[in-house]
Amino acid sequence: MQQLKKTALIREAGRAFKTKGFHNTSLDEVAEALNVTKAALYYYVKGKRELLFETQMLVLEMGDAALEEGQHGKTGLEKLERTIGRFIVLMARDFISHSFVSTLDDMLPEHQDIIRKRRRAFDLRIREFVQDGINDGSIAPCEPKLAVAWLMGSINWIPNWFNPEGEYGPEAIAEVFVNFISHGLAAGSAKVRGRPRKSSSEAT
Amino acid sequence: MQQLKKTALIREAGRAFKTKGFHNTSLDEVAEALNVTKAALYYYVKGKRELLFETQMLVLEMGDAALEEGQHGKTGLEKLERTIGRFIVLMARDFISHSFVSTLDDMLPEHQDIIRKRRRAFDLRIREFVQDGINDGSIAPCEPKLAVAWLMGSINWIPNWFNPEGEYGPEAIAEVFVNFISHGLAAGSAKVRGRPRKSSSEAT
């Protein structure tokens, strides 16, 4: 029950941040939107920056749930399709409308580290699916690192334009995006690989 | 000469904002990084929020230059490929390393309106290229609005991971992204269209 309340709080905070901007929204206003006192709010979170951290953790948990679903795919491409589709639906249904693109700079340093590590872990799992697909022939040879940077970018950008009252619902967007991304990666046409400038350094 | 200086200033400001975060960077620090006095800085811009606006205007000008290049493509798909490729190279060479994802909320209201209008105009031009491609058979039938939201998302996200000292240079990234996007949109395989929930409202 307490967890439920906290999730509701995080969503409301995300909504307020999205509407007015993180730096233009006070914790008082979040409390007001939730119809609770600021003291009640402090029972759950230490401050605005922690709330921001919690919104990102919620998205990362959706990512993990999507990976779980993705694992049941038969080929690498199918794993990827399932993961992406599920992730978009989860985010759009539950969260994207209240989400916003935020910078890590606005979080506390210890939270920045946690988010960075979890984002990287998620990224590496998606790269594995791409590599699986290259190995099993479902995905055309490519640089998994760039492929994931490319496909996750389009997904991460959704909160910037998604309108929960708009023409396209979460399922329709997921279907269309999975289709574009899948055709972009699928084997069957010659692909140009990224040509590294040097072999020793990291792109991301 | 004055224009040149202003561009240098905008880039340096973008770099400082990216490193420390917009809200954590003072105009004093931007002046320091540029090795000028704050008074000299005020000669060019009225404040930090105006600097942010100028960084976005610089990106939009690159978008216009890319559209100019794109127009010379023979098919809709080729127009799109040229535009995207040019836009990525321009941004990555010149700006992305100093760029960052910022919210409109941090800008002055009158600037927000200008940016919104220009972004929308850019978006509509890209949608036209997609529609051209559908008409001439180079792009599989799809909803141009969603196609552009999808492909521009991956490009708009580049500043979040691009490392100017990294493994992949601007040209390599442009080549790989154009390839993925082109295969994602190209005619020759059945595409699922987005199914609108209602026909009257707008997705974006």
Query: Would you state the structure tokens that stand for residue A151, as one six-digit string?
Result: 């496909």
d(CA B23, CA A49): 13
Please state which of the ranges A187-191, A195-199, B4-8, B91-95 shows the lowest mean pLDDT: A195-199
Which tops the pLDDT comparison, B98 or A31? A31
A191 touches chain B (CB under 8 A): yes
User: Quick one: pLDDT at residue A169?
Assistant: 93
B36 min Cα distance to partner chain A (Å): 26
Which tops the pLDDT comparison, B28 or B118? B118
User: Quick one: pLDDT at residue B103?
Assistant: 65
CB A163 within 8 A of CB B204: yes
User: Quick one: pLDDT at residue A120?
Assistant: 94
Contact at CB, B167 and A24, closer than 8 angstroms: no
**CB contacts, 8 Å: A165 with chain B:** 201
User: Quick one: pLDDT at residue A69?
Assistant: 96
Kindly give the residue spans of alpha helices, DSSP state H, lying in chain A: 2-20, 27-34, 38-44, 48-70, 76-94, 109-136, 144-156, 170-185
d(CA B18, CA B160): 10
**CB contacts, 8 Å: A186 with chain B:** 183
B35 min Cα distance to partner chain A (Å): 25
B43 touches chain A (CB under 8 A): no
Residue whose pair of structure tokens reads 């320091």 in the numeric block = B32
CATH topology of domain A55-185: Tetracycline Repressor; domain 2 (1.10.357)
| pLDDT above 50 (res B203) | no
d(CA B58, CA B56): 5
d(CA A155, CA A174): 9
Please state which of the ranges A87-101, A111-125, B121-135, B144-158 shows the lowest mean pLDDT: A87-101
Provide the β-strand partners of residue A186.
A139
CB A66 within 8 A of CB A86: yes
Query: Would you state the structure tokens that stand for residue A108, as one six-digit string?
Result: 């506390």
ipTM: 0.84
* Residue in B closest to A176 by C-alpha: B194
**CB contacts, 8 Å: B198 with chain A:** 167
Residue whose pair of structure tokens reads 């998620």 in the numeric block = A122
Contact at CB, A176 and B143, closer than 8 angstroms: yes
What is the pLDDT averaged over residues B115-144?
A: 96
| pLDDT above 80 (res A122) | yes
A190 touches chain B (CB under 8 A): no
Please state which of the ranges A87-91, B16-20, B27-31, B100-104 shows the lowest mean pLDDT: B100-104
What is the pLDDT averaged over residues A149-157?
A: 94
Show which of residues 144-163 on chain B sit within 8 Å of chain A, judged by CB atoms: 146-147, 149-158, 160-161, 163
Which tops the pLDDT comparison, A100 or B175? B175
Q: How confident is the model at residue B164 (pLDDT cuts 50, 70, 90)?
A: confident
| pLDDT above 50 (res A190) | no
Contact at CB, A201 and B20, closer than 8 angstroms: no
A164 touches chain B (CB under 8 A): no
d(CA B43, CA B2): 10
**pLDDT, tens only, B6-24:** 777 777 777 777 777 777 7
Residue A149 has its nearest CB partner, among B20, B146, B161, at: B161
Q: What percent of chain A has pLDDT over 70?
A: 85
Query: Would you state the structure tokens that stand for residue A105, as one six-digit string?
Result: 């700079």
B48-185: what CATH class?
Answer: mainly alpha
Amino acid in position B48: K
Residue whose pair of structure tokens reads 């985010």 in the numeric block = A91
User: Quick one: pLDDT at residue A189?
Assistant: 54
**What is the torsional sign of CA A56, A62, A66, A67?**
positive
Show which of residues 15-34 on chain A sit within 8 Å of chain B, judged by CB atoms: 20-24
Residues in chain B, total: 204
Cβ atoms within 10 A of the Cβ of B141, count?
A: 11
**CB contacts, 8 Å: A193 with chain B:** 176
Residue whose pair of structure tokens reads 């269209």 in the numeric block = B193
Which tops the pLDDT comparison, B165 or A149? A149
d(CA A163, CA B184): 24
**pLDDT, tens only, B33-91:** 778 888 878 887 888 888 888 888 888 999 999 999 999 999 999 999 999 999 999 98
| Strand segments (E) across chain B | none
Residues 6+ away with beta carbon under 8 Å from B195: A172, A175
User: Quick one: pLDDT at residue A8?
Assistant: 77
B189 touches chain A (CB under 8 A): yes
| pLDDT above 50 (res B194) | no
